[in-house]
Each structure stands twice: as C-alpha cells, then as structure tokens.
Amino acid sequence: MRNLALIPAFLALGTGAAFAQVAAPQHEDGPGPNMVIQIADAEGNDKGTITLDLLADKAPQHVERLVELAEAGAYDGVVFHRVIDGFMAQTGDVQHGKQGGDTSMAGTGGSDMPDLPAEFSDVSFQAGTVGMARSQDPNSANSQFFIDLAPATFLDGQYTVVGQLIDGWDVLTAIKKGDSAQNGAVTAPDYMAKVTIAE
C-alpha cells in the first residue's frame, strides 16, 4: 500500500520546532483556471474559502486532472488528512478521504484514473504553493495535493507544482493541524465542502 506523504520533507523539518508566523503570499492571478475550495470543520461549519490559481503552463496534465476531478465533484467532502504546522496541508484522497466515512486510510489512495508522469518545473515551493503528493516514485501523483504553509524549497524539483494560493491565506492557515508525533495526521479533520473551477 503506497503512502503519498512528503516524508523526506517532514524529516528535514524535525519535530517539536516552533514556527514563526509566515506573511500572506502575494501571488498574482494568472490565466487560470482557478480552483475555489470552500472549507468546513468536522461538524460542517463553514470556515471560509480559498482560491488557487492553477498553473496549466507549468503542469498541464496535473492541472487537467485536478480540474476533471473537481468538475466531477470528486473532491467534495474530502478531508485535509495531514496538516503540519509550519509546513503544509494535504488533501485530495478521493478514494479513502471522504468526510463522514472511515478516513483511517486517507493518504494512501488516489482516484480511479492512472498516475501521472512528473511535470517538474522551475517554480519554487513557497508559502501558498500547491504541489502534487506522490509516493517515492516521481511518477505516482494522482489526485492528492498539498498547499504550503511556509517556504519549503527543499521540495524544489522533486514534486510537481500545480498552482499558487491567490486568496484565503487566513482560511488556509486556520485549517485544523495534525499531531506532529503522528506525522501530521488529523483527528476530526477539516474538509473541502465544495470544490469548483472558475476560469
């Protein structure tokens, strides 16, 4: 069973560190498409919306996959199963990550579509950067993605960058954090209530 976790990155951070407050990223909205994610807590209470500018010029196949899954409603109800303070928030396991069900396997699944070949680029992982989660195989990204809560340049050239946060930094940083002793696993996690695509 594969585990789409950024394990090398987490180990590089260490545990128990105190993280400084990161300033909201200032990314311009590009040609899109944009992914708009409405976030709710485990009880279904609205926590706000984040908007991601997807970088089709940098990772066309991965962006096409995200758009296809969002437009099919596959991301609706999927939890943020792994959130590490000072690092990133990970979601997108449409197979095992549906809110209200058994999410104990969240982080090990994908979609019913094939894995994608890596589309590495020169875009650096900074606060608000959106990357595709994968296993140790660089060509194993499928549906899971993560959004950086702080610069993570040690991921550069190793994970496919698919977008940048352009709105909702306060909402993103308020997503419920996981247990650092459990590699960021979240109990009663927040989830993506509704995911839409806007041009």
Tens digits of residue pLDDT in 51-61: 999 999 999 99
What separation in angstroms does the CA of 148 have from each of 26, 74, 100?
14, 22, 26
- Supply the pTM of this predicted model: 0.90
Instruction: Tell me how many degrees the CA angle 33-109-129 measures, rounded to the nearest 5.
Output: 35
- Tens digits of per-residue pLDDT, 65-123? 999 999 999 999 999 999 999 999 999 999 999 999 899 999 999 999 999 999 999 99
For position 128, what pLDDT does the model report?
97
pLDDT at 10 exceeding the cut of 60: no
- pLDDT score of 169 more than 60: yes
What CA–CA distance (Å, rounded) separates 10 from 92? 19
